[in-house]
Structure 1
Amino acid sequence: MEHITPKENIILNVLSAEVNFTTCESIRLSRRVDRTGQRTLAAVTKSDQYADDLLEKVTTNAVNISYVCVRNRIGNETYDEARIQEANLFKSHHSLSMIDKSRVGIPVLAQKLVQTHDVIISKCLPNIVNEIKEKLDEWMSRMSGSLKETLEKLLIHGEVVGLPDKHKSCDARLAKMVDEFKIELHAEDESFENFLVDEMRVLKESGGIRLSQFVPEYAFSYLLRQKVSKISDLPISFVNKVWSYVESVSFEVLKDHCESFPQLYSPMKKASQKALEKIKNKFLQRAMDMIEMEKNTNYTCDPNFLASWKELKSANYDKLSDAVVRRRSKWIAINGYGDVKVDHLFDVPANIREQAFDLKMKMVAYWAVVLRRMVDWSALNLRYWIQKFVTEMGISVFTDMMLPGCGIEKMMEGPRSVAEKRDIFR
């Protein structure tokens, strides 16, 4: 029953002409699953042996099914010989010749099978396609969901239970990249031989009609833009570096998930690349925006900034003045900054030197705030955009795999080796 119940299957009853059609068990089973008889076809065999009773059986057609009477091959007859004998039988036999010619012969049986198949397909194909699509959608939903879950465990939550060993260090690797970025930011190439030179130059260029003891805001903003510009490539490099790693991990996870369907790896990888590129570009744009914001605005609500600035100035200016004016030292150690060369400051007026030093210490205190902010921003945005990518990747993979030529067609493709062997026999 399991083979004749599906509505897309043809039920072919092969009956001997000697049996009673109304009591035939196979006919009864067919009628139970196909009451209208639209997909049931009876092939009545041994027509030549039981010809006398056959005409009445097929004429009354008490079981109301489509039938075709055929003649079996006898002995060593070839197919062509058997068909000739069959045609002569239904043409010359006194009773069989009275059966409608659209009901006799193997060629007619083959034609009716094709016609019945066409009718069934025309009715069932939309449902079959919908069922396949539903199954495919369900499978792809599970696949994308599993892919998303694995990536979240690896890249966001840092879970390692149940994951391959090669993926267990992902979260630690991302944290290490953030630490390396922090070190790179703090390793800015500061000139210790030209101490206060830039500050004095900017003060000279920004001179105007104002109280001499007040440093113009423009001077600090200009120096800040210069410092930010020097390290502006580091956040971009960080994004490229970390995203390259995220990409490699994602493709490895994707490959693991496609192990049972290797033909799906290529289109799914393409969909993943699209999501990666989309989110990476947004991350890069945010990084560039962050750099521009640091260039254009000097602000912090950190209460330690003012305290640090004042402490740096009070702890070091007297030392600088003593080294330059009285001791004429070539090098001195500035607390919180490092050893600097100061012999070029011997002939600089005290008020200019003091303003330049104040500007430098203010920048040192504020620069620490900027670097902390950049590191924090990068770490927070890294998490944010990885989460966005994981979500986008799941959507992109699911959507693209539903496109023609990517989903069910790829799953139905056999291995290339099988296709090559098939071509040999064509």
Structure 2
Amino acid sequence: MPQKMSSLTEAMTTFMQIIGLAKESLRKILVRGEFDEYPDEQNMHCTARLVEMFNQFSDELHKHAESDPAEKFLMEEIMVLEGTKVIGLPNFLPRTAFLTILQKRVKGISSIPTIFIEEVWSYVEEIVISVMMHHSEHYYQLQLSFRRAGHNLIAKMKERSINWVMEIVEMQKQTDYTCNPEYLSDWNKLMVQQDAFMKYVLTNVDCPSIIKLEGFGEIEVSHLEKYSHVLQLAFDLKMRMTAYWKIVLKRLVDCMALHLLLSIGNLVNKEFEAEIVNELMGPGGGIERMLEESPAVASKRQKISKSIELLRKSKEVVAKIMDKIGTYND
């Protein structure tokens, strides 16, 4: 039976102990990756579950149709170049064309990070509520307040993360920039194939219409003959986007991981205790209610107390009988 509290001081002491234990448990399973408190509950091995969720998120981004367009090779680039023509030199790649394709691709995957954020915070909420319920299992008066505080806290963290994700996605749409040297390295490797590709498409009319390009595999090229005037720029645009899209996807995954790790750390180390205290100390909070017991617990305590009293009296009676038996034997 939990200790029955008779003063606010005892209630406050117990409350702070519960908060401390719950906070330490969350720090262990969400931040440090320790699961000695839940060795057989796989769902509570949180850092491992988060890694699985991140890997799934990364795979989904890379396998999405926008990461590997199914249209005929170079046709997307050709159509965009035709639609963004300006009066000027013919061999300049317009930035507008690049941004048009980039924005289309980013828009195509924009829902994936938001869905992922919601899934992660739903999982974290499940863990937080479970830990809080475990450490307050003897104080049903607190559990409703704890559950409400947990829901409110996760809702705030989720909203912040979603706003952050939307901003990050918008950044990817508006600006084509990276300092990552892999971009130029990958682009140069892809562009090495340009001359052979152009020659194959434009001069070998009777050759098979299938050509193999590194990074793309076997592709159909018969549809490209009539676009010779823009083919070289389209190839360049394709290779630039291919190299840059890798950077975009890696950037999204890395930023998401760093953001969520920081947010979960802040949840445990800063936000958790403040939210719980505000909930419990506010109007209608649960501190005073800790002095009350549920009818079931009160009834059980009363029955046990009666049993203890009966056993005490029985012990006294048995002791007297034993004394008489001992005196008689003497």
Same fold per superposition (TM over 0.5): yes
Q: Which structure has the higher relative contact order (CA within 8 Å, separation 6+)?
A: 2
Instruction: Please state whether the residue corresponding to 2:208 is helix, strand or coil.
Output: coil
Q: Unaligned 5+ residue runs, structure 2? A: 1-5, 301-330
Distance 2:140 2:297 in 1: 14
Please state if 1:170 is matched with 2:49: no
Q: Is the 8 A contact 1:320 1:332 kept in 2?
A: no
Q: Is the 8 A contact 2:211 2:219 kept in 1?
A: yes
Please state if 1:158 is matched with 2:21: no
Aligned to 1:410: 289
Deviations 1:276-326 (A, max 9, x none): 000110001100000000000111101121121011111355135415541
Q: Specify which of 12, 15, 27 is matched with residue 140 of structure 1.
A: 15
Instruction: Please state whether the residue corresponding to 2:192 is helix, strand or coil.
Output: helix
Amino acid at match of 1:151: L
Q: Is the 8 A contact 1:324 1:343 kept in 2?
A: no
Deviations 1:10-46 (A, max 9, x none): xxxxxxxxxxxxxxxxxxxxxxxxxxxxxxxxxxxxx
Distance 2:128 2:47 in 1: 13
Deviations 1:175-226 (A, max 9, x none): 0100000000100213344221121111112111221111011111111111
Amino acid at match of 1:149: E
Please state if 1:216 is matched with 2:94: yes
| Larger relative helix fraction | 2
Aligned to 2:234: 356
Distance 1:193 1:330 in 2: 16
Deviates more, 1:403-412 or 1:266-275: 403-412
Amino acid at match of 1:407: G
After TM superposition, what 4+ stretches of structure 1 lie above 6 angstroms from structure 2?
A: 418-421
Please state if 1:251 is matched with 2:113: no
Change in CA separation of 1:418 and 1:146 when aligned onto 2, cut-off 3 Å: closer
Map residues 42-191 of structure 1 onto 2, 5 A cutoff: 132-166=7-41, 168-189=44-65, 190-191=68-69
Deviations 1:70-89 (A, max 9, x none): xxxxxxxxxxxxxxxxxxxx
Aligned to 2:315: none
Q: Is the 8 A contact 1:195 1:340 kept in 2?
A: yes
Instruction: Please state whether the residue corresponding to 1:329 is helix, strand or coil.
Output: coil
Q: Is the 8 A contact 1:225 1:296 kept in 2?
A: yes
Amino acid at match of 2:33: G
Distance 1:159 1:407 in 2: 31
Distance 1:375 1:198 in 2: 26
Amino acid at match of 2:139: F
Q: How high is the TM-score relative to the length of structure 1?
A: 0.64
Distance 1:333 1:246 in 2: 47
Distance apart, 1:331 and its partner CA: 3.1
Distance 1:252 1:224 in 2: 43
Percent of residue pairs bearing the same amino acid type: 35
Q: Unaligned 5+ residue runs, structure 1? A: 1-130, 422-426
CA RMSD of aligned residues (A): 2.2
Change in CA separation of 1:262 and 1:338 when aligned onto 2, cut-off 3 Å: farther
Distance 1:223 1:233 in 2: 17
Q: Specify which of 348, 372, 393 is matched with residue 250 of structure 2.
A: 372
Q: Specify which of 264, 269, 273 is matched with residue 386 of structure 1.
A: 264
Q: Is the 8 A contact 1:140 1:398 kept in 2?
A: no
Amino acid at match of 2:251: R
Instruction: Please state whether the residue corresponding to 1:194 is helix, strand or coil.
Output: coil
Q: Is the 8 A contact 2:212 2:219 kept in 1?
A: yes
Q: How high is the TM-score relative to the length of structure 2?
A: 0.81
